[in-house]
Structure 1
Amino acid sequence: MATYDPFRDIDRLASTLFDTRRGPRRMPMDLYRDGDHYVLNADLPGIDPGSVDIDVDGQLLTIRAERTLGSGEGVKWITRERETASFLRQLNLGQGIDTESITATYNNGVLTVTIPVSEKAKPRKVQVVADGSSPTITAGESEHPQPIDQ
């Protein structure tokens, strides 16, 4: 037996009337580093993957998405709690990101954006040469290099 809760309907009406957040909503996300790339996972349930728009402008990554709800002709709604919505998230990427190689996938309501670290920003080893040791001679170099004027 279904019960009627008038307070639930009043609460829903009040939040609809007094909701000041009419602009884009923020999407919950996780961001972590895995080796030489960052992984961003954002929850976007009910989103058509074709509505997701990802832009990189300089070091600013912008993710936009729209949730639309279809309603066929002759449909009589019994209840409609899911709303159409637009989502927006912007991140400053900082230096050391390979913005040309960013990729994205959408699976089971989760958008995954893979953000690789640029080659220049990856850790590297620096060879240490003992002071006073003889230089290694490679093809084309003189055995007695000329001093440099300073």
Structure 2
Amino acid sequence: MLVMNTPFRELDSWFDQVAGRARSTGEGHTAAMDAYRRDGDVWVHVDLPGIAADSLDVAVERNVLTITGERNWQRHDGDHVYLSERRRGVFRRQVTLGDGLDADAVEADYSDGVLTLRIPIAERAQPRKISISTRSTPASPAAIDASATEA
């Protein structure tokens, strides 16, 4: 139902961990996401702590769902930064919605730093029962009675 558009994301993250690098800015920054199907919907939860709702944008174009946003904090003159591990800057996350999802009916809610999307499964993709028709078949030839054979 959902296809990730970042095939090397996990490999990039692994290299960053091995090298001890923190990726702090740019479109390489991706947000943690969970996606699952429940009943007739696909639910997506994206962790976006510290991101203002007005900096978020959720769009669907040609079955590609794109989430973008920005987290910033400005250093002031005289600040002595001891540690800077929180990612900041622009992020972008994309997933391809399968044909079985209704991209026109996506709903979004942002609460407590978590963006929640409900994507209905399209009516045409819902499970349905198929009725089976029966036709009467021509009568099969009468069985031959072996006990009635001529001697």
For residues 21 and 50 of structure 1, the distance between their equivalents in structure 2, rounded to whole angstroms, comes to: 19
TM-score normalised according to structure 1 size: 0.66
For structure 2, which runs of at least 5 residues remain unmatched after alignment?
1-18, 138-151
Deviations 1:72-92 (A, max 9, x none): 899887876545322211101
Quick one: structure 1 residues 38 and 29, their matched pair in 2 at CA, closer, same or farther if it must change by over 3 Å? same
For structure 1, which runs of at least 5 residues remain unmatched after alignment?
1-14, 134-150
Which structure is higher in RCO with an 8 Å CA cutoff and minimum separation 6? 2
Q: Give yes or no for the alignment of 1:91 onto 2:95.
A: yes
For residues 23 and 103 of structure 2, the distance between their equivalents in structure 1, rounded to whole angstroms, comes to: 37
Tell me the equivalent position of 1:45: 49
Given that 1:69 and 1:83 are in contact with CA atoms closer than 8 Å, whether structure 2 keeps it comes out as no
Number of residue pairs the alignment of both structures matches: 119
Identity of aligned residues (%): 34
Deviation at 1:18, TM superposition (A): 8.9
Deviation at 1:59, TM superposition (A): 1.2
Deviations 1:17-54 (A, max 9, x none): 99696444011100000011100101100000111111
Q: 1:130 aligns with which of 89, 111, 134?
A: 134
Tell me the equivalent position of 1:28: 32
Q: Give yes or no for the alignment of 1:108 onto 2:106.
A: no
For residues 18 and 33 of structure 1, the distance between their equivalents in structure 2, rounded to whole angstroms, comes to: 32
Given that 1:24 and 1:85 are in contact with CA atoms closer than 8 Å, whether structure 2 keeps it comes out as no
